[in-house]
Structure 1
Amino acid sequence: MGQSAAVCDQKTEFEIVRDWNGFQQVLLRVPSGASARVCLYGGQIISWRNERGEELLFTSCKANFKPPKAMRGGVSIYFPQFGHYGLLGQQGFTRNKMWSIDCDPPALHPNDSNEKACVDLLLTPLDAELKCWPHCFEFRLRVTLSMDGDLTVISRVRNINGKPFSFSFAYHTYFSVSDISEVRVEGLETLDYLDNLCQRERFTEQGDALTFESEVDRVYLGTPNVVAVLDHEKKRTFVIRKAGVPDMVVWNPWERKAKNMMDLGDEEYKQMLCVDAAVIERPINLKPGEEWTGRLELSAVPSSYCSDHLDHHLLGVM
């Protein structure tokens, strides 16, 4: 693949590469060996590897890498709609649009270390989007890889419209797991959820942890800022920290539905789990000039580091 260097500010460098379709991707790397790859088509994170080169995000072997279809896997941005059908589709339009590199991004937060690799992307609406959703906005997306390999995604949506608008949102995240039957999710116990397999009927989670024996498609409401996905076989825990995105979608299609999906292998449901930080129950409302910020931070640590219960020192609220 052809490649060239690019600079988003005076302190942060990243590398531009091209995929087999000729689309630009941003490659972030840190000295430890950890890396992340962001595709400008869709603003989608298509790879996140730890210092040993192990892929932490799932991508289907049947994924369609050619637009206008979105790729199944990685981390996709769903905006301005998620979970409802209509002119915008169930997942909105941002994952099917070409983003640009933002060379004049907002300053990093004073608490953020400069010792990291990051890229800033920008999306503004074209005429096609305005016909379906007549609101002017600026969507800034910052993807950061820390020195220890943590992945952080910050979304900023600003209303540059002359009138208010509202939207829903999700970080649609595919985690790579050893076997879905060996996985559990902690941090959602006692919460209410909407079950998409039961016409969005509302239930309360009764288990001490969420485990998987069949198809799951739930929207957990008012979730904590920290949730953990424990993979017993790999002895790995994904720690999900979030802010500004109160809900969480948990999804696995299981065997029957996987066989009916053109871009998912029949048995691949066993190696994936989607846990999405989202805004669904109460959409975000922005007045002209207002801005919303949503943040997702992903860490992968040995499961022994999070034994028995969520370690509140490790999983401190951001």
Structure 2
Amino acid sequence: MTTPISITRHQGLEAIELHAPDGARATLLLHGAHLVSWRPAGADEQLYLSPKSAFTTGQAVRGGVPVIFPQFATRGPLQRHGFARGKPWQLVSAESGKDDSLAVLRLTDDAATRMVWPHAFEAEISIRIAGRALEMELACENRGEAPLSFTAALHTYLRLTSYMSASLQGLSGLAYWDSTIERAGTQHEDLLRLDGETDRIYQDVKHDLTLRDGDRRLAIWQQGFSDAVIWNPGEEKGDALVDMPAGGWKEMLCVEAAQALRPIELQPGETWAGLQTIVLL
């Protein structure tokens, strides 16, 4: 048996408050389909959300999990990271069951999107929480009569408690593009430690990653997405962000499931889906 969840408000914006029977909690905005909070059962907040974020229609929220679609960064003619994170999404369903809580939101093309990206599409994001796990699935269907291509990401900001000792494990042997120096490289060590600005797109990620942050461990894996973007702005760029407090960059690391380097190509009627799962160990 499931219990429907009604729309409420968070920071003045329409939102869904997910509550699993085991105590897991999450908050999902309809604005941008933006997940702004995730508290696993018996645990504290796992996502970073800037206290200076602007919760305003049409503006992106700094932190949580922004939905990047249909363009990653500036790799194309659209605005940075596309338009999905600034659009209102429609609620498809939201309910709590005996083991979990799930919400599904949908975004379709309209006159404004077709002016900048002339395609008929339907995008959906599904957010599921249960116990100490968070599952996020982004899907897109080509509803038009011509092929379309896009890039996308789940721009997940993970909270850090110990920046100096934090590391990401599981990257050994992976090729990457370092956006800070515009150069390709290969990861030779299994652990990536933070040391100033980090902005890398790791390719063909097939194995689990583990964020080590003090005594805390988060296991992260993905399906459908071929890339993983690891980002921290560092001191100079972090403190220059108007929607992040001074030193806020020390409290976050983005580990993004992404399709950034090779666009997804969909023929009319075809569908793609990508999943990121995070588990507090």
TM bucket (normalised to shorter chain) is over 0.9
Q: State the partner residue of 2:275.
A: 295
1:188 pairs with 2:171: yes
- 1:21-170 pair list within 5 angstroms: 21=12, 23-52=13-42, 54-84=44-74, 87-103=77-93, 115-146=99-130, 148-170=131-153
The 8 Å contact of residues 35 and 149 in structure 1, kept in 2 or not, is answered as no
The one-letter code matched in structure 2 to 1:245 is F
State, as a whole percentage, how many aligned pairs show the same letter. 33
Which of structure 1's runs of 4+ aligned residues deviate more than 3 A?
Answer: none
Q: State the partner residue of 1:224.
A: 206
Give, in whole Å, the separation in 2 of the partners of 1:56 and 1:291. 31
Q: State the partner residue of 1:13.
A: 4
Aligned-residue offset at 1:16: 2.2
Q: Per the alignment, in what secondary structure is the counterpart of residue 68 of structure 1? A: coil
The 8 Å contact of residues 15 and 28 in structure 1, kept in 2 or not, is answered as no
Q: TM-score, normalised by structure 2?
A: 0.95
The one-letter code matched in structure 2 to 1:187 is G
Aligned-residue offset at 1:51: 2.4
Q: Per the alignment, in what secondary structure is the counterpart of residue 52 of structure 1? A: coil
Aligned-residue offset at 1:90: 1.7
Please, which of 180, 188, 200 is the counterpart of residue 206 of structure 1?
Answer: 188
The one-letter code matched in structure 2 to 1:152 is E
The 8 Å contact of residues 251 and 273 in structure 1, kept in 2 or not, is answered as yes
Aligned-residue offset at 1:32: 2.2
Distance 1:282 1:12, change over 3 A: farther
Q: State the partner residue of 1:285.
A: 265
Give a deviation string over 1:62-121, Cα, whole Å, max 9, x none. Answer: 111112211100011100000225542120010000001115x9xxxxxxx973110111
CA RMSD of aligned residues (A): 1.6
Q: Per the alignment, in what secondary structure is the counterpart of residue 259 of structure 1? A: helix
Q: State the partner residue of 1:197.
A: 180
The one-letter code matched in structure 2 to 1:264 is M
